[in-house]
Amino acid sequence: MAQIYQKSYYNGKIIDFKFANLSIASSAVLYGLSVYTVFHATKDGLVFRLPEHFKRLQDSAKIIGIDMPTGFDYDNFLHIIKTLYKENKPNKDVFFRATIHVDELVAGTRSRGVHSQLSIFMYDAEPIVPRNGARLKTSLWRRIPDNAIPSRAKVNGAYVNSVLARQDAIDSGYDDCIFLDMAGHVCELSAANIFLVRDDVLITPDTSSDLLEGINRRTILELAHNEGITTQVRSVDLTELYIADEVFMSGTSAFVTSVKEIDARKVTIRREGVAARLSSLHEQVLKGQVKQYEKWITSL
């Protein structure tokens, strides 16, 4: 298990992680009524696309209808992140997980007029899939449709869907799942977006396929565009993945990782292909090494 750092933010204060506990009677625990985001920081304190993560957290709360904790604005958020980073002094790259929990007790199934609070903790930035190539299994479980639990919002409770599908993939000897939407189109992985390359065109499912609008998905599309790679955002059929020249994923915890097998069919990993190119560019961008993309870095 990834190491969790000692200092966390909870109930308006920086406290020891072991004391940051939600009540068993809170809506967060009873109904999974929390929204969250996870973002990457290098050991040198360079955070990737922090304003976008903050905005998505706000948007998730807005979609679900959760009232914001008092004093929740970007400046406060940044101040807490900076303080945690300084107190924990990581000597490795880390992930920050920031969550807005509805922590009102026995509130019943409602979201408004109930108390919420922000929690943040840090843990080692270990990838959730093997970086040298992941093996994926199409899930029997479909992605929750946007008109049941909105996929655009990162809602904790919805991750039971991801757990079901990923555990099924692991039980079958794979690293992760591929979700299809209710119409049978390719959607995403348990916690990453998916891309394929066919005839030098980079393709990713469009947001009407019930997927999370990943911040790295958007980044990959922007990087590819600036690199002169043709991109298409459209519905994708599963069989297109089987015959693709390359398949890869993007996500904060999955980084940009190639896929080497889908449903017992081999996928080529090209040493100098589009995935390799974008993955290495993405890595340099995360480290703040590319001048053109320094605009995406916040220094703690």
Q: CB 255 → ligand PMP: shortest distance, Å? A: 10
Question: Which of residues 117 and 193 has its CB atom nearest to ligand PMP in the complex?
Answer: 193
The yes or no reply on residue 259 touching ligand PMP (CB under 6 A) is: no
Question: Which of residues 50 and 118 has its CB atom nearest to ligand PMP in the complex?
Answer: 50
**Which 210-249 residues touch ligand PMP, going by CB under 6 A?**
212, 214-217
**Which 62-121 residues touch ligand PMP, going by CB under 6 A?**
none
Q: CB 217 → ligand PMP: shortest distance, Å? A: 6
The yes or no reply on residue 40 touching ligand PMP (CB under 6 A) is: no
The yes or no reply on residue 192 touching ligand PMP (CB under 6 A) is: yes
Question: Which of residues 56 and 101 has its CB atom nearest to ligand PMP in the complex?
Answer: 56
Looking at beta carbons, which residue is closest to ligand PMP? 214
Question: Which of residues 40 and 135 has its CB atom nearest to ligand PMP in the complex?
Answer: 40
The yes or no reply on residue 175 touching ligand PMP (CB under 6 A) is: no
The yes or no reply on residue 193 touching ligand PMP (CB under 6 A) is: yes
Q: CB 75 → ligand PMP: shortest distance, Å? A: 22
The yes or no reply on residue 191 touching ligand PMP (CB under 6 A) is: yes
Question: Which of residues 69 and 251 has its CB atom nearest to ligand PMP in the complex?
Answer: 251
Q: CB 25 → ligand PMP: shortest distance, Å? A: 27
CA atoms of 124 and 48, how far apart (whole Å): 15
- Ramachandran assignment for 199, one of left (phi > 0), alpha (psi -120 to 50 degrees), beta (any other): left
Residues 6+ apart with CB under 8 A from 263: 136, 137, 138, 242
Q: CB 136 → ligand PMP: shortest distance, Å? A: 14
The yes or no reply on residue 34 touching ligand PMP (CB under 6 A) is: no
The yes or no reply on residue 57 touching ligand PMP (CB under 6 A) is: no
Q: CB 19 → ligand PMP: shortest distance, Å? A: 27
One-letter-per-residue 3-state SS of the chain: CCCECCEEEECCEEEEHHHCCCCCCEHHHHHCCEEEEEEEECCCCEEECHHHHHHHHHHHHHHHCCCCCCCCCHHHHHHHHHHHHHHHCCCCCEEEEEEEEECCECCCCCCCCCCEEEEEEEEECCCCCCCCCEEEEECCCCCCCCCCCCCCCCEHHHHHHHHHHHHHHHHCCCCEEEEECCCCCEEECCCCEEEEEECCEEEECCHHHCCCCCHHHHHHHHHHHHCCCEEEECCCCHHHHHCCCEEEEEECCCEEEEEEEECCEECCCCCCCHHHHHHHHHHHHHCCCCHHHHHHEEEC
The yes or no reply on residue 252 touching ligand PMP (CB under 6 A) is: yes
Binding site for ligand PMP (CB under 6 A): 38, 188, 191-193, 212, 214-217, 250-252
